[in-house]
């Protein structure tokens, strides 16, 4: 009569795991969304999410029209941050270019600029900026201010030398940039993207997958089998842990190969961080599936969790630029800590000792969320 005995938990777990993996692998569309979609998104994200601002379209209004004013206009636009798209005749025309969006900056060189500079009279250059995109207008403004500031400094030193006075000391800042000497976006963005994609692949898929089973009534059918709810739960989510790891590995490989993301830290740090993070993302997916009746609702709830988690993670914009109360909230955000682990480990070569704080945070958040999810799931099924 041994065949009638309830199979051990291990056998049950293996059976559910096998069934889930088969069901997923046989569904070509599921495989696409678990493996190919994250890769596609990494590539697009890596190229698109770039904060570098250059080639800002600029018009020049040269009211002086001398060799000196033309020289300054040319030198200002020489380094490529500002790109000359044309010259205009008057201030109204400059405004019109900005209104129409054909230019984002207008440099106005005043009448008698050359004469004033030669005579040592103060002159004022005006720069009109399209402030729609603050990032762009700040860079354009800083470029102009820096160029004319240097010109002014050089001229006053020359004036002093000519008058026979030794010019005062000059400070020069020589930056030495570690980890990412050319300050390009992809090596920084790509590790952060891993945190976002794991959310989609694990949280949304688990939440919707379970809601779908509930909708179709297959969850009830499984419940009449001897499989215990906890075993069912672990068997169902275990494949996603595997898929999550595969995705992270693929992402790191693509990041290294396509975007030059370095791998400076120890691999066990990445593995531990990912495992702790998956605990949270899968736990949230489970929790959502227990509070929603349909797939549509579970998607919306998943989205409602994802949106703040992504925006307050520091992946897209620095956490330091948020108001203080919002910075405090980001401490309970698992995406923030995982992005920090990924970035610090890959780029800065940080180890367990350096990342003790985010790792501990991930472990606590993951433990609480997962325990809550398991409890709720058991009550719902029991």
Partner 1 sequence: MRERGGQILGSERLRRSLIRVGAMAGKETLHILRDPRTLYLALVMPVLMLFLFGYGVSFDLDRIPVAISDLDRTEASRALVRTVTGSHELVSAGEADAAEADRLFRRGRVAAMLVIPSQYGEKLARRERVSLQLLVDGSDVVVANQVLSKADALVRAETRRLASVELAGPGAAAAPLQVKLWTRYNPASLSALFMVPGLAAYILAITAVLLTALTVAGEWERGSMEQLFASPVGRLEIMLGKLAPYLALGMLELLLVVAFGAAVFDVPVRGSLTLFLVIGFFFLVGMLGQGLLISILTKNQLVATQAGTISSLLPSLLLSGMVFPVENMPWPLQLLSRVIPARYLVHALRGILLKGNGLAALWPDLLAVAVFAVLIVAFSAARFPRRLA
Residue number, 1 or 119, with CB nearest to partner 1: 119
Radius of gyration of the chain (CA): 29
Of 145, 267, 328, 360, the one binding partner 1 by CB under 8 A: 145
- Binding residues for partner 1 restricted to 246-275, rule: CB under 8 A: none
Between CA 321 and CA 323 the distance in angstroms is 7
Please, what is the minimum distance in Å from the beta carbon of residue 6 to partner 1?
A: 32
Between CA 224 and CA 207 the distance in angstroms is 22
- Binding residues for partner 1 restricted to 70-89, rule: CB under 8 A: none
Residues contacting partner 1: total by CB under 8 A:
119
55: contact with partner 1 by CB under 8 A: yes
Residue number, 181 or 382, with CB nearest to partner 1: 181
Three-class SS of residue 62? strand
**Cα dihedral: 24, 27, 31, 37 (round 10):** -130
Between CA 298 and CA 211 the distance in angstroms is 7
Between CA 326 and CA 314 the distance in angstroms is 12
Of 267, 307, 328, 371, the one binding partner 1 by CB under 8 A: 307
- Binding residues for partner 1 restricted to 348-367, rule: CB under 8 A: 348-350, 354
Q: Are 82 and 56 in contact (CB under 8 A)?
A: yes
48: contact with partner 1 by CB under 8 A: yes
Q: Are 92 and 70 in contact (CB under 8 A)?
A: no
Please, what is the minimum distance in Å from the beta carbon of residue 225 to partner 1?
A: 24
Binding marks (x or -) toward partner 1, 153..192, rule CB under 8 A?
x-xx--xx--x-xxxxxxxxxxxxxxxxx-xxx-xxx---
121: contact with partner 1 by CB under 8 A: yes
100: contact with partner 1 by CB under 8 A: yes
What lies within 8 Å, CB to CB, of 262 at 6+ separation is: 179, 187, 256, 346, 347
Please, what is the minimum distance in Å from the beta carbon of residue 229 to partner 1?
A: 23
Binding marks (x or -) toward partner 1, 202..241, rule CB under 8 A?
--xx--xx--x--x--------------------------
Of 12, 274, 280, 344, the one binding partner 1 by CB under 8 A: 344
109: contact with partner 1 by CB under 8 A: no
Of 6, 22, 25, 47, the one binding partner 1 by CB under 8 A: 47
What lies within 8 Å, CB to CB, of 315 at 6+ separation is: 189, 192, 193, 195, 196, 335, 339
Between CA 165 and CA 167 the distance in angstroms is 6
242: contact with partner 1 by CB under 8 A: no
Residue number, 78 or 138, with CB nearest to partner 1: 138
Of 16, 195, 227, 301, the one binding partner 1 by CB under 8 A: 301
Among positive and negative, which fits the CA dihedral 215, 216, 219, 223?
Answer: positive
């Amino acid at each position: 009569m041994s065949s009638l005995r309830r199979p051990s938990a291990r056998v049950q777990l293996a059976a559910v795991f096998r069934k889930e993996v088969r069901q997923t692998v046989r569904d070509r569309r599921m495989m696409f969304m678990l493996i190919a979609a994250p890769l596609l998104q990494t590539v697009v994200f890596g190229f698109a999410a770039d904060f570098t601002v250059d080639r800002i379209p600029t018009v020049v209004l040269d009211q002086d029209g001398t060799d000196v004013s033309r020289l300054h206009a040319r030198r200002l636009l020489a380094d490529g941050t500002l790109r000359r798209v044309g010259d205009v005749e008057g201030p109204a025309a400059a405004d019109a270019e900005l209104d129409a969006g054909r230019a984002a900056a207008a440099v106005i060189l005043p009448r008698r600029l050359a004469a004033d500079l030669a005579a040592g009279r103060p002159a004022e250059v005006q720069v009109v900026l399209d402030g729609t995109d603050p990032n762009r207008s700040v860079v354009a403004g800083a470029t102009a201010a820096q160029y004319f500031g240097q010109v002014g400094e050089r001229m006053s030193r020359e004036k002093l030398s000519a008058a026979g006075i030794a010019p005062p000391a000059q400070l020069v800042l020589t930056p030495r940039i570690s980890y990412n000497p050319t300050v390009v976006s992809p090596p920084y963005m790509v590790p952060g993207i891993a945190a976002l994609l794991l959310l989609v692949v694990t949280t949304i898929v688990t939440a919707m997958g379970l809601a779908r089973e509930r909708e179709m009534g297959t969850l009830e059918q499984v419940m009449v089998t001897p499989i215990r709810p906890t075993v069912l739960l672990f068997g169902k989510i275990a494949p996603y842990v595997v898929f999550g790891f595969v995705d992270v590995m693929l992402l790191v490989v693509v990041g290294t190969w396509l975007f030059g993301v370095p791998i400076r830290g120890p691999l066990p740090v990445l593995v531990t961080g990912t495992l702790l993070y998956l605990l949270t993302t899968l736990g949230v997916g489970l929790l959502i599936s227990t509070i929603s009746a349909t797939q549509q609702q579970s998607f919306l709830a998943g989205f409602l969790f994802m949106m703040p988690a992504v925006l307050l993670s520091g992946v897209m914009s620095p956490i330091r630029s948020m108001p203080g109360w919002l910075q405090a909230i980001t401490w309970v955000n698992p995406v923030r800590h995982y992005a920090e682990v990924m970035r610090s480990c890959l780029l800065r070569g940080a180890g367990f000792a350096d990342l003790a704080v985010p790792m501990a945070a991930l472990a606590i958040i993951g433990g609480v969320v997962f325990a809550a999810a398991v409890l709720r799931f058991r009550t719902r099924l029991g």
